[in-house]
Amino acid sequence: MILIVDSGSTKCDWIAVDKDGNQLLEKIRTKGLNPEILTEKKLKKTIKKNEDLKNNRSEVTHVYFYGAGCGTERGKESVANVLKEIFLNAFIKVEEDTMAAVYSTINHENEAAVVCILGTGSNCSYYDGKQLHQKVQSLGYILMDDAAGNFFGKQLIRDYYFNHMPTDIKIAFSTKYNLDADYIKYNIYKQPNPNAYLANFAEFMFLNKDSEYIRTLIKDGIRLFVKNYIMQYKEELKTVPVHFAGSIAYFSQGEIKEVAQEMGFTTGNFERRPIEGLVKFHTNSLK
């Protein structure tokens, strides 16, 4: 049994397949397993809470794990340690989530492209067809993550409290969410995964895209992401497309294409959930 895992900070998808790519179990979803946010103890507890993973762990021969927070050696080591303790008979490989985005969006194995992630968090890298190159090291959701779900969630809450929202949007926002100040602060400062909590508010944008305020909010966030991340690869952009993975990118395709035309780069593929492409990639590599 081969486990292919795609983990963000909010949620983690697991697919169990055989060497021919045939799915062996129903798709498994656990909470996100970001080692920058959760301790090894909490990572282990989250995995073991799932009965399918717990009951089939001795059958697993390979685990390919792609995750947010695994861009550093410390993050990779934390996740690998936990997986080795649970899946005792398995070959374990841990890579950052950017590689999942690369493998699921490129058109062929050796295609060069700039690849972006816009989900709960955000990231951008250049893949030369063999290796990944990053010019910006992530400092996490507090300082970075432009145009990510948590970025937009924070912007919406700020605009609500600073009275920058149009009245109709403000009423709709307060109707959908608990915006009590103490409740918000409790979730941000006292609960695990505050970035995932903030990202939950981003759904509101896509339910209200007929609002000029919302469209402006999305495009301003994307412009910031392009300026700070994508434009790090000005030379590469002359010859390669920019692919996008993640739910924020998927539901913002129109705005991203408008900003791309405005700022002079070519968009490529948009993949909401990279895990399907990963199954094909890994089963092919094992044949």
If you average pLDDT over every residue of the chain, what do you get? 93
Q: Retrieve residue 11's tokens.
A: 């949620």
Whether the per-residue pLDDT at 9 is higher than 90: the answer is: no
Superfamily designation of domain 2-101+274-285: ATPase, nucleotide binding domain (3.30.420.40)
With H, G, I as helix, E, B as strand and everything else as coil, classify residue 65: strand
Question: pLDDT (tens digit, 9 = 90+) per residue, 17-38?
Answer: 998 888 999 889 999 999 988 9
pLDDT-derived band at 277, boundaries 50, 70, 90: confident
Question: pLDDT (tens digit, 9 = 90+) per residue, 106-133?
Answer: 988 889 999 999 998 999 999 999 999 9
The mean per-residue pLDDT over the stretch 67-77 comes to: 91
Domain boundaries, the chain: 2-101+274-285
Q: Which residue has the higher pLDDT, 273 or 153?
A: 153
Question: How many residues would you count in the chain?
Answer: 287
Whether the per-residue pLDDT at 287 is higher than 80: the answer is: no
H or E segment at 93? strand 91-96
- Whether 256 contacts 83, CB under 8 Å: no
φ/ψ of 284, rounded to 5, equals: -65, -40
Q: Retrieve residue 24's tokens.
A: 């062996």
Q: Retrieve residue 224's tokens.
A: 């910031």
Q: From residue 151, how far is each of 23, 114, 217, 280, 285 by CA, in Å?
A: 35, 21, 11, 32, 36
Q: Which residue has the higher pLDDT, 239 or 68?
A: 239
Rg for the chain (alpha carbons), in Å? 19
The mean per-residue pLDDT over the stretch 10-19 comes to: 90
Question: pLDDT (tens digit, 9 = 90+) per residue, 229-247?
Answer: 999 999 999 999 999 999 9
User: What are the b/e assignments for 71-81, b being 16+ CB within 10 Å?
Assistant: beeebbebbbe
Shortest CA distance to 273 belongs to which of 1, 2, 5? 5
Q: What is the pLDDT of residue 61?
A: 95
In the chain, the percentage of residues whose pLDDT exceeds 90 is 79
Whether the per-residue pLDDT at 182 is higher than 80: the answer is: yes
Residue with tokens 């409790």: 186
Q: From residue 257, how far is each of 121, 185, 243, 264, 267 by CA, in Å?
A: 20, 35, 11, 10, 7
